[in-house]
Structure 1
């Protein structure tokens, strides 16, 4: 066994000091009259090169659930003052398999190519030729001293990302067709509509294809003669409408 050298006069004085308890050297300070625990006022002084200290740091590292170096260091320093603790914690976190797995960067999947509807056609390089449509709201509007719900119908050019807003009183099919009419009068006749599977869009798509169901003569003449194509996204796939959902957020 390793023989310990006898205590010198200086070591004996340290043992008699109030900061040395149970054979452990403690830190002094000016917080003696505070209400903090004794270990917090006078933490134990340890060395990170000792094996017992390293085992204690490793145990605290597991208790802190591998959060990080600074969090573990603050947790340990509530009771102990360890020399070189930050360097040892960095080495410990580097060798810890769980920490390396948590710090690993996430994989970014490659983005798919844009569909052909997001590009201009040589025949008609005009904005609002290919249009995506969606609703946002409701918004509270005061009408005749009463609050009513009002929606906004958003039209966006799939190529230039320009937007056109129209007010819609509700989500019915009639109001949807009513919002399309001023859009066409202002921006011109589109050749392609893209929307989600909302019930108002489904019914509007049917009415455009059936001339007897159209109430507005202007829409009947324009949409049916020009052969407007109305395409719907896949059901239960709202991520396919990101081209207008991002603009909905900007408008809100």
Structure 2
């Protein structure tokens, strides 16, 4: 017989109550939670009516999701999120955030020094959200919104209600994952390297020593005999100083141009 050493490793993995990774938008997640709550309430009502009237345990017809039900569903998601990550959110490195549990909804909030300001109560005491989580990412995408806000604007929208540690880094990462923003901001192909500026732009020169010229805006004029004639403006632009000089010419012939010079 041979002795065999067997190593056994046990891990305590806490399963998630809610399937966070199954959703691509925050509104879908909230509405799913609202439907789940409505289903649970309907089952409870059915069981209660079955005890009261076993022969006719029908439940009442459920209404559509109201604003209040959506708000309750969002609060439920936040409670589940904070309960799953309470050990992380209550670490010593977050003590400076002055985290306290709210008396109204039981959520962990960051109590700052803005109580005397005229902003909303949610902005004064934002809800604490764990960083680098699916919920935080969806909140950033919601703040990024259909207008595709910039990093600073999206951060401002998030902090109207929530406080996410290391928000700027996560916001930049989320915006880089926005397909529409990448299509608009990224280059369609690799541009060639820039060359040196022309000599006439960087060397000291007299005004109108280097110029660009063009004709523009044909207009009608009258000669001393009150006869209408077409004329043009000849514009001289100094490339060095960006000064502009205008000359009125009667036509676009070489003779008129030489007279304008």
TM-score, length basis structure 1: 0.39
Determine which structure has the larger strand proportion and give its number: 1
TM-score, length basis structure 2: 0.38
Q: Comparing both chains, which one has the higher relative contact order based on Cα–Cα distances under 8 Å and sequence gaps of 6 or more?
A: 1
